[in-house]
Structure 1
Amino acid sequence: MLKPREAAVELGLSYPTIKQWILTGKLTSVKTPGGHHLIPRTALAAFLKSRPEAKEKRDRFQKVSGRNQLVGTIIEVKVEGLLAKVVLAIGDQQITSIITADAVREMKLRKGETAAALMKSTEVMITRV
């Protein structure tokens, strides 16, 4: 039995989509005495079979053309609701990014790991320090 968030990760979908599928009956679930939904792993089988190429399609996006990449160490990951704050230490500087909580879970971002910040912008501002 899986929690809705676990099922969402397994299917590569968002948590709100899974909740909607449960409430509309598209995805079978069992209610606990506390009113929470649990999803039998067998209920995911049909959806996994219909999406065998989903991971392959996602893998294509790991190579990017952007050259403004700064590699650093993750010093903070804070997930709250649909969003997450990720802070990278790059030398003696820090860069903060707000991304989706789903992205943090999908990439399995953890404090102490190496990651890269990729910037894509038409303007770069410089200030005298």
Structure 2
Amino acid sequence: MPSADTLLKPREAAAELGLSYPTIKQWILSGKLSSVKTPGGHHLIPRSALAPLLKATPKPRETRERFRQVSGRNQLIGKIVEVKISGLLAKVVLSIGDQRITSIITADAAREMQLRKGQTAAALMKSTEVMITRV
């Protein structure tokens, strides 16, 4: 378990809070989020400063009950095996049985949902066409 006194880079703090890097920088510069400046002028954020900002994370459920608010019914539930954020996009790979589904979503959405390897998630498909190929 990480120490409450651990110093985080702004990008690491942004990932933990599910926020964008520019938002964290604005909060540092406005004084909303305390930081420590390195001799090189970089900001480091004490993990303890994040505690009041952390949202309670809901406990994942492996049922479709929580998705009933969405009209789409084509949902496959699995485990996240990879989350790779690069620039504006994020690659999320779900393992469902012995198959994998890859989705490309915005990096902001991945951060907002606080997607992490090992979590339970659902792939929701919405399409006007479904193609079948013989294997």
With the shorter chain as reference, the TM-score category is 0.5 to 0.7
* Count of residues in correspondence between the two structures: 116
**Which residue, 36, 40, 44 being the options, matches 1:38?**
44
Amino acid at match of 2:74: N
Tell me by how many angstroms 1:124 deviates. Answer: 2.0
Structure 1 match to 2:93:
87
Change beyond 3 A, Cα 1:87–1:18: same
Q: Quick check: which one's helix share is greater? A: 1
Kindly indicate whether the alpha-carbon contact (under 8 Å) linking 2:16 and 2:114 is maintained by their aligned counterparts in 1.
Answer: no
Structure 2 match to 1:13:
19
Unaligned runs of 5+ in 2: 1-6, 59-65
Unaligned runs of 5+ in 1: 49-53
Change beyond 3 A, Cα 1:12–1:71: closer
* TM-score, scaled relative to structure 1: 0.59
Amino acid at match of 1:4: P
Paired with 1:39 and 1:31, the residues of 2 have a C-alpha distance of 9
Change beyond 3 A, Cα 1:43–1:98: same
Write the mapping of 1:102-121 to structure 2, written as runs, cut at 5 A.
102-105=108-111, 106-111=113-118, 113-121=119-127
* TM-score, scaled relative to structure 2: 0.57
Amino acid at match of 1:31: K
Secondary structure of the 1:107 match is coil
Structure 1 match to 2:78:
72
Change beyond 3 A, Cα 1:21–1:114: closer
Amino acid at match of 2:99: Q
Question: How far does the alpha carbon of each residue in 1:43-102 deviate from its partner, in whole angstroms, 9 at most, with x for none?
Answer: 769x85xxxxx958x97xx64323110122333332333432112233443211112445
Structure 2 match to 1:51:
none
Paired with 1:42 and 1:76, the residues of 2 have a C-alpha distance of 28
Change beyond 3 A, Cα 1:126–1:9: closer
